[in-house]
Chain A
Amino acid sequence: MSSNPTPAKKQLLKIIILGDSGVGKTSLMHQFVSKKFDSRYKATIGADFLTKELTVGDQVVSLQIWDTAGQERFQSLGSAFYRGADACVLVYDVTVQESFAHVGSWMEEFSIQAGRRDSVLIGNKTDLEDRRQVPTRTAQMWCDKQNAEGDKNDKTEMKYFETSARENTGVEEAFMAVAAAALARKASQPAPVPPPSTVNLNQNQPGNAGGSNNTNSGCSC
């Protein structure tokens, strides 16, 4: 399979994390990137970002992860951050029903700004199981419904993950799944078409990684 004469160039992927305030977006990002948890993060104002290099199949990927402020008002600043995003991670807190109820509007906002892209849904804070308000099945059904309603020609599939950023469970799987999905899409559409505006991603085209990126590490819970 990996008969590429030249090693594939590094692929840049931009992932954006969305969801209500306090659901754990910043914690998830830090857990995934630096493998640490701190219960004393400041509230995110505007946006923040971290990068991580990883290998998906034999493709080296430079992941640019954008963490955003959760208060709805910040959506009006969002367009700049959403622009050029390859995928999105939607997060809610399994102990806060309301945060799950808002997932749909976050997704809609993202689709309007960035176009239809791959996304995963994360139910975070499973370490607080005794305070859970959203059953796993409810969230899974919501994803199934999104997938059923999607464009038949568009193989976008939303996967559901449950995580605990505090205990580092499920975090790696969720981010790897979104990276793999975004990468697969990029490989199948060699010319990325961001929404009209300045093209600012300094990207290198992959040396066509062929079928090498089908390492679908997702779990379907």
Chain B
Amino acid sequence: MRKWVFIINNWNSTSLEVKKKYCRKGIPQQFRRKVWRLFLLGTKGAKGKAAERGKPYSYYSELPLEDTQLEGVIERDLDRTFPTHRKFDSGANGEGQQALRRMLRAYANYNRGVGYCQGMGFLAATLLLQINEEERAFWCFCSLMEEEEYNLKSLYEPGFPMLQCYFSVFEGLMKKTNKKVYHHVREVHGVESSYYATHWFLTLFTYYLNFGLISRIWDMFLCEGWKIIFRFALALLKIDQQRLLGAATETELLMVLKDIQENKEPAKMLDVSLKIKFTTKYMNKLKKSYLDSQQRKK
């Protein structure tokens, strides 16, 4: 506890290694809001971010949408984003859905090239729940989408360029770290990761997993970046390896993959995911080789 107070008070001078070590242990809930904000907004906070990005939140949230089709898409998704959560279940005029509507519209205005895409609501809602103050939550969301180390916007852009790249990286890592499963899933049954991992990557696991586990994953993701997401994706396959290998047909395999994220023990998930070994260098190599091959196609 005292360590966290020290880290928070000395954020800029604390090394990434120290942050990483403590984030892996889990940020205590009473500090989580503050630490997530520090990762996403830096020490200057929401005001600093707003200044950096040019215009205040109210400007972006109140501006009419340029692409009017998005209006309907956002509206239809509001009560389909964590529909059973207390904060969002009281209808389109409930406080939670109103805040979510404004955040999504604000981002669509902030980055018109990305606009709104289904899945983004789960990220915005997760931040709204954890940060608990709309304007700050919005700037955190904006950082998650825009900042180099997270760069979710590159996944959501039309054509999903980075999502496609991450499917390829993920399959490469699967091949390296769990050959048996790779062979069975990818080679024998031809099941591509896009069939089952799309929402893992687009919503950073928030689509299915419970909040306790999501918080632990995000603690590490905000500190270490995408490597953590790949680790957890690989851990899901690893934990259910026997069920996957036992599936005799494509249909059986798909049914195992369909609910593979359900009923996962957080302690087990954390333990398995951190034991999966691959280097950042190798991950980056896979990424580069995919991007190079795309470049050549052009």
- Say if the beta carbon of B258 comes within 8 Å of chain A: yes
A45-53, A127-135, A144-152 - the one binding chain B: A45-53
Q: Are A200 and B189 in contact (CB under 8 A)?
A: yes
Q: Are B190 and A22 in contact (CB under 8 A)?
A: no
- Give the size of the chain A interface in residues (CB under 8 angstroms): 32
**Smallest CB gap from B76: residue in A:** A22
Residues of B within 8 A of A41 (CB): 80, 83
CA distance in complex: A71, B74 (Å): 10
* CB contact between B190 and one of A43, A71, A198 (< 8 Å): that residue: A198
Min Cβ gap B275→A in Å is: 28
A72-80, A111-119, A155-163, A181-189 - the one binding chain B: A72-80
Residues of A within 8 A of B255 (CB): 51
- Give the size of the chain B interface in residues (CB under 8 angstroms): 37
Q: Are A47 and B198 in contact (CB under 8 A)?
A: yes
- Say if the beta carbon of B117 comes within 8 Å of chain A: yes
Main secondary structure of the interface of B (DSSP, over half): loop
Residues of A within 8 A of B194 (CB): 46, 77, 80-81
CA distance in complex: A81, B198 (Å): 12
Q: Are B195 and A45 in contact (CB under 8 A)?
A: no
* CB contact between A49 and one of B79, B80, B254 (< 8 Å): that residue: B254
- Say if the beta carbon of B90 comes within 8 Å of chain A: no
CA distance in complex: A54, B79 (Å): 33
Residues of A within 8 A of B117 (CB): 71, 73
- Say if the beta carbon of A174 comes within 8 Å of chain B: no
- Say if the beta carbon of B249 comes within 8 Å of chain A: yes
Taking Cβ atoms with an 8 Å cutoff, the residues of B that contact A are 72-73, 76-77, 79-84, 89, 117-119, 121-122, 158-160, 163, 189-192, 194-195, 198-199, 202-203, 207, 249-251, 254-255, 258
Q: A22-B76, A45-B119, A46-B198 are in contact. List 5 more A-B contacts (CB 8 A).
A: A12-B251, A22-B80, A62-B251, A71-B118, A199-B190
| 16 A-B residue pairs with CB within 8 Å | A12-B249, A22-B72, A22-B80, A42-B81, A43-B80, A43-B119, A45-B199, A45-B202, A49-B254, A51-B251, A64-B251, A76-B160, A77-B198, A81-B195, A200-B191, A201-B250
